[in-house]
Structure 1
Amino acid sequence: MYLEIVSPEATLFSSEVDSVAVPGVNGEFQMLDNHAPIVSILKEGFVKISGNIEINEEVQDKFTKGDKGITLLKINSGTLEMKDNKAIILAD
């Protein structure tokens, strides 16, 4: 699946990933390839990206490496749209 994470300042991430887990307002949930279309509001927490990914050097300081090859991005809030195997996160 393709994941794009956009903040008010810049596009933070844009690449193919294995999965992504997000902090939805009704609880954390994960999306894999070909997930059903969904729109969700996100709350404060971590976006957890799984896959062999490369982070742009300009925004690398916003991401941290977690256990088992998971890459983490802390967000305050945001929205998510998953459609046609592409997830777009608008994050604060």
Structure 2
Amino acid sequence: MADHKFNVTIVTPDGTIYDKDTTMIILKTQNGEMGILPNHIPVVASLQIDAVRVQLEDGEDKIAVNGGFVEFSDNAASIVADSAEIPEKIDVTRAQSAKTRAEQHIQHAHEVHDKDELARAEVALKRAINRLSVSQK
């Protein structure tokens, strides 16, 4: 059975937030969605703001990952991200407030034609939506 699993670890500047054995991970890279199974060829890919889905024998874990990169080799996946949260650690009220603020900033950026503010607000909105989506497990 060991040949049918591999380890996935997610680390942020605050430390390791996830470390389990899995049968498959599904993640969204800059080039599209990617699934990794045991014995996959080595790969390094940058990640989009999205949920990383970890397949387990009894279900699936979802982790909100805000960018970063994945490196897979020797049957181990390491995900390094600026921030990442498991559903139980997501403050839904804070995420909803961040979503509302980002939407207000987007509206303001459109009104004043500020492309930099718009770009920052769109990233903030993606992060908030990702966190809210993962929190609903």
Q: Give the TM-score normalised by structure 1.
A: 0.78
Residue aligning to 1:45: 50
Same amino acid, percent of matched pairs: 31
Deviation (angstroms), 1:81: 0.4
For residue 16 of structure 1, report the CA deviation from its aligned partner.
1.1
- Identify, as 1 or 2, the structure richer in helix: 2
Counterparts of residues 13-32 of structure 1 (less than 5 Å): 13-32=18-37
Which has the bigger relative contact order, CA under 8 A and spacing at least 6? 1
Which of 1 and 2 has greater Rg? 2
Q: Which runs of 4+ in 1 moved over 4 A?
A: none
Deviation of residue 52 (structure 1)? Answer: 4.0
When normalised by structure 2's length, the TM-score is: 0.53
Equivalent of 2:69 in 79, 85, 90: 79
Separation in 2, partners of 1:3, 1:29: 15
Distance 1:28 1:90 in 2: 17
Q: Read off the aligned partner of 1:31 and give its amino acid letter.
A: I
- Aligned counterparts of 1:2 and 1:22: Cα–Cα separation in 2: 15
* Superposed CA RMSD: 1.3
* Other-structure match for 1:36: 41
Amino acid at match of 2:74: D
**Which is strand-richer, 1 or 2?**
1
Q: Which amino acid aligns with 1:81?
A: E
Aligned residues: 77
Cα deviation for residue 12 of structure 1 reads 0.8
